[in-house]
Chains A and B, each alone.
Chain A
Amino acid sequence: MHAHPAASPAAVGNAARSRRRGEVLRACALVGPALLLLLVLFLLPTLAILGIALTDWQFGAQSLSFVGAANFQEIFADATFRASFGNTLVYVLIVVPGTVVCALVVALLIEADSRFRSFYRAIHFLPFMATLAAMAIAWEALLHPTIGLVNQMLAAIGAPTANWLRDERTVLPVLAIIGIWQNLGFALVLFMAGLKAIPRDLYDAADIDGASSWMDRILTVTLPMLGPVSMFVVIVVALRAFEAFDTVQMLTQGGPGKASELLLYTLYRESFEFLRTGYGAAITVVFLTIVVSLTLFQARVMDRKVHYS
Chain B
Amino acid sequence: MASLSIAGITKGFEATQVLKGVSLDIRDGEFLTLLGPSGCGKSTLLRILAGLEIQDGGTISIDDRVVDDLHPKKRDVAMVFQSYALYPHMTVRDNISVPLKMRRLSSWQRLPLFGRCLPNSARIRKEIAGEAGKVAKSVGIEHLLDRKPGQLSGGQRQRVAVARAMVRHPAVFLMDEPLSNLDAKLRVQMRAEIKELHRRLGVTFIYVTHDQAEAMTLSDRVAVMLDGELLQVAPPDAIYAEPNDRRVAEFIGSPKINLLDAVVRTPETIDVAGATLPVPTGCEPGTNIVLGIRPEAFHYVDRFAPGTLGARVHLVEHLGSDLFVHCDFPGAGAPLIARLATDRAPSLSIGETVHLGIDASRVLLFRPDGSRLPNREATVTTLRGRA
| Interface residues on chain B, size class | 20 to 34
Q: Which residue of B lies closest to A305 (CB)?
A: B89
Is B89 a contact of A209 with CB atoms below 8 Å? no
Map CB proximity to A onto B55-90 as digits: 1 under 8 Å, 0 otherwise: 000000000000000011100011101110111111
- Best-buried of A207, A209, A211 by chain B (most CB within 10 Å): A209
**Residues of A with C-beta under 8 A to B90:** 224
> Are A224 and B89 within 8 A (Cβ)?
yes
Digitize A196-239: 1 where CB-to-B-CB distance is under 8 Å, 0 elsewhere. Answer: 00010110111111111101100111001101000000000000
Q: How far is the CB of A114 from chain B (nearest CB, A)?
A: 14
Which of chain B's residues have a CB closer than 8 A to the CB of A216?
102, 107, 110
A213 / chain B contacts, CB cutoff of 8 Å:
107
Q: Is B241 an interface residue (CB 8 A)?
A: no
- Say yes or no for B150: interface residue by CB 8 A criterion: yes
Q: 1/0 per position for B83-123, CB-CB distance to A under 8 A?
A: 10111111000000011001100010011100000000000
User: A208-B78, A209-B99, A213-B107 given as contacts; is B52 within 8 A of A199 (CB)?
Assistant: no
Instruction: Assess whether B83 is in contact with A208, with CB atoms less than 8 Å apart.
Output: no
- CB of B99 within 8 A of CB of A210, answer yes
Residues of A within 8 A of B384 (CB): none
* Least CB distance, A266 to chain B, in whole angstroms: 38
Whether B107 pairs with A215 at a CB distance below 8 angstroms is: yes
State in angstroms the CA–CA spacing of A182 and B383 once bound together: 85
Contacts of B73 in A (CB 8 A): 207-210, 212
Q: Are A211 and B98 in contact, CB atoms less than 8 angstroms apart? A: yes
Asked whether B83 lies within 8 Å of A201 as measured between CB atoms, the reply is: yes
Decide if A307 is an interface residue (CB 8 Å cutoff): yes
CB neighbours of A227 from chain B (8 A): 89
A45 CB to nearest B CB, Å: 41
Inter-chain CA distance A253–B182, complex, in Å, is: 65
Total A residues in contact with B, Cβ cutoff 8 Å: 23
Q: What residues of chain B lie closer than 8 Å to A209, measured between beta carbons?
A: 73, 98-99, 102, 164
B83 — which chain A residues lie within 8 A by C-beta?
199, 201
Partner pick for A225 among B47, B78, B89, B110, CB 8 A cutoff: B89
Q: Is the CB of A202 within 8 A of B89?
A: no
Residues of chain A with a CB closer than 8 A to B72's CB: 207-208, 212
Pairwise interchain contact B103-A202, C-beta atoms closer than 8 A: no
B4 at interface by CB-CB < 8 Å: no
With contacts A208-B73, A213-B107, A225-B89 taken as known, whether A307 is within 8 angstroms of B148 at the C-beta atoms is yes
The answer, yes or no, to whether B50 is at the interface (CB within 8 Å) is yes
- Please tell me if A73 contacts chain B, counting CB pairs below 8 Å: no
Within 8 A of B (CB), among A159-180: none
- Given A204-B52, A208-B50, A209-B164, CB of A199 within 8 Å of CB of B85: yes
Q: Does A65 contact B (CB under 8 A)?
A: no
Structural contact, B71 and A205, CB atoms closer than 8 A: no
Q: State which residues 218-240 of B face A: CB under 8 Å.
A: none
Give bound CA distance, A188 to B104, whole Å.
Answer: 35
- CB-CB under 8 A from B77, the residues of chain A are 208
Residues on B with C-beta less than 8 A from A207 are: 51-52, 71-73
A residues near B79, Cβ cutoff 8 Å: 204-205, 208
Residues of chain B within 8 A (CB-CB) of A224 are 87, 89-90
A206 — which chain B residues lie within 8 A by C-beta?
98
Are A208 and B52 within 8 A (Cβ)?
yes
Say whether A309 faces chain B, with CB atoms less than 8 Å apart. Answer: yes
Q: Which residue of A lies closest to B79 (CB)?
A: A208
- Inter-chain CA distance A204–B72, complex, in Å, is 9
Q: Contacts of A215 on B, CB cut-off 8 Å?
A: 107
Pick the contact of B112: A205, A208, A219 (CB < 8 A): A219
B51 to chain A, nearest CB (A): 8
Tell whether, in the assembled complex, residue B88 and residue A309 are in contact, meaning their CB atoms are under 8 Å apart: yes
Instruction: Given A208-B50, A210-B99, decide whether A201 and B88 contact each other with a Cβ distance below 8 A.
Output: no
What A residues does B82 contact at CB under 8 A?
201
State whether B81 touches A205 (Cβ < 8 A).
Answer: yes
Task: Please determine whether A201 and B107 come into contact, CB atoms closer than 8 angstroms.
Answer: no
Contact A211 B81 (CB under 8 A): no
Distance of B14 from chain A, by nearest CB (Å): 14
B88–A204 contact, CB under 8 A? no
A contact residues around B52 at 8 Å (CB): 204, 207-208
CB contacts (< 8 Å) of A219 on chain B: these are 110-112
Closest Cβ–Cβ distance, residue A20 to chain B (whole Å): 41
Report the separation of the CA atoms of residues A225 and B88 in the bound assembly, to the nearest whole angstrom.
8
Closest chain B residue to A213, Cβ basis? B107
Tell me the complex Cα distance, A224–B85, Å.
14
Question: Which residue of chain B lies nearest to A227 when distances are taken between CB atoms in the complex?
Answer: B89
Q: How far is the CA of A213 from the CA of B87 in the complex (A)?
A: 17
CA distance A208 to B81 in the complex (A): 11
Query: In the complex, what distance in Å separates the CA atom of A216 from the CA atom of B98?
Result: 11
A204 engages B81 (CB within 8 Å): yes
Q: How far is the CA of A160 from the CA of B67 in the complex (A)?
A: 55
Residue of A nearest to B97 (CB): A209
Query: Which residues of A are found within 8 Å of B47, using beta-carbon distances?
Result: 204
CA distance A191 to B358 in the complex (A): 66
Question: Nearest Cβ distance between residue A217 and chain B, in whole angstroms?
Answer: 11
**B111 surroundings in chain A (CB, below 8 A):** 219
Q: How far is the CA of A221 from the CA of B95 in the complex (A)?
A: 12
Q: What residues of A have a CB within 8 angstroms of the CB of B87 in the complex?
A: 202, 205, 220-221, 224
Q: Which of A199, A206, A224 has the most chain B CB atoms closer than 10 A to its own CB? A: A206
- In the assembly, what is the distance between CA of A271 and CA of B85, in Å? 56
A227 to B112, CA, bound (A): 15
Considering the chains assembled together, what is the distance between the CA atoms of A227 and B81 in angstroms?
24
Cα distance A201–B51 when bound, in Å?
14
**Min CB gap A184→B, angstroms:** 25
Minimum CB distance partner of B104 in chain A: A210
Taking each of A204, A208, A307, which has the highest tally of chain B beta carbons within 10 Å of its own beta carbon?
Answer: A208
Pairs A–B under 8 Å by Cβ, sample size 5: A207-B52, A207-B72, A208-B79, A213-B107, A219-B112
> Which residues of B line the A interface, CB within 8 A?
47, 50-52, 71-73, 77-79, 81-83, 85-90, 98-99, 102-103, 107, 110-112, 148, 150, 164
Known: A210-B98, A307-B89; 10 extra A-B contacts, CB below 8 A, are A199-B83, A199-B85, A201-B81, A204-B47, A204-B79, A205-B85, A207-B72, A209-B98, A219-B110, A307-B150
